Amino acid sequence: MKLYKIADFIFGVHMDESLDIPENFKKFEISSSPEDIQTEYFIKIVDELPEPQGECITTRNDLQVFQNGNIESRRMNFVGIPEPYGVYEEKSERVIYSYFKRSFLSMLSADTVFVSLFAMEKRMFAHDAMVLHCSALQVNDGVILFSGPSGIGKSTHADLWVKHRGARVINGDRTLLQKLGDRWMSLGWPICGSSEICHNESFPVKAIVFLGQAPENGGMRCRYFDSVKQLISQLTINVWNPSVVEKIWSMAEDLAAQVPVFYYHCNMEKYAVDTLESLIHDVL
C-alpha cells in the first residue's frame, strides 16, 4: 500500500505496483503512518466489471451513479464508447473498491481516467475543498486563476504572462480550492489536461479572471452575484447530490466575497497582459 495526500485528505491505495499510473498522481505520494489514513482504496484489474448495486440516480454520457442507502457506486465509460472501463464501489466511508477493465489497461496512466477511480471530488467536498476549471498562474507570492469555457484561451493567456512577466504556471487545467484560516488557497491537483503542467504546490489566491475573446482588450470587476454564477459554471459539482450542491453554492459565495473576480475580454496579444495587469493592479 502507498499513501497519498491531497489537501488534508490522506488515503492509502492498494494495487499491483507493476501497473503504470500517471506521473501527476505520483507527486502526491507521502511518507506517513498508516494510522493517519482516512480512506483505503483497492484497485482491481478484472476481465469483467461487477454490476453496481442500488438505484441508478443519474446518467451522463460518460457516467452512471447508483445509490444503495448511504453507499454510492459509479460506472464510468469514455464519451462515445458505451462499454464501461471502470466501476467505483463504496464498501464504507473508509473502504472503497475500484475495478478497472483489463481491455482498457493502456488508458490507466491517463490522469483523468485514473483519478476517476477515486471519486476524488466527493472526498474533497467532505474536506471543504472544490475543483475549479482554470489555469493557475503564480505571480509573485500568490496565484491568479484564469477560468472560462474550454477553448476560451486560458492556457494561451497564461503563456503570455510567463513570456512577458516571468510568471509560472502551476497547473494548466484545474486547481483545488480550500479555505485555510481566513484565506482561500490554490492547492495541487493531479489532473492538468493537455497542458501537461502539474505541480503539487499551494499559494494564496489573489484574483480569479474569467476570460472572453475580443479584438480589443478590456474588462471589469464582477459584481458579487455575477461572480458566484461564473464560479458555479466552472466548478466540478456532483449535481445528483442536493447537499453537495448546497455546500458548493455556500463555498462559492464565500470565495466570491473574499477574492476579487474579474471579467476580461482580450485578443491574446502582448498588450493583453498590460491591460489586465492595470485592471488587477491593486491585488497583485
User: What does the pLDDT look like over 35-54, one tens digit per residue?
Assistant: 889 999 999 999 999 999 99
Count of structural domains, the chain: 2
| Domain residue limits at 52 | 2-126
137 and 259 together in one domain:
yes
Mean pLDDT of the chain: 96
110 and 201 together in one domain:
no
Q: How many Cα atoms within 13 Å fall on the side-chain side of residue 62?
A: 6
133 and 96 together in one domain:
no
Confidence of residue 284 (pLDDT cuts 50, 70, 90): confident
C-alpha cell, 119: 471519486
What's phi and psi for 156, nearest 5 deg? -65, -45
151 and 268 together in one domain:
yes
Summarize pLDDT for 146-195 with one digit per residue, the tens: 999 988 999 999 999 999 999 999 999 999 999 999 999 999 999 998 88
For residue 204, the model assigns a pLDDT of 98
Measured from the Cβ of residue 201, the count of other Cβ atoms closer than 10 Å reads: 15
CATH of the domain at 202: 3.90.228.20
What's phi and psi for 93, nearest 5 deg? -65, -30
> What pTM value is reported for the model?
0.95
Summarize pLDDT for 104-138 with one digit per residue, the tens: 999 999 999 999 999 999 999 999 999 999 999 99
Domain boundary at 77, 106, 126, which? 126
Residue type for position 48? E
Domain boundary at 126, 153, 171, which? 126
Domain boundary at 73, 92, 126, which? 126
Residue type for position 190? P
- Rounded alpha-carbon distances, angstroms, from residue 136 to 57, 162, 210, 255: 34, 12, 12, 16
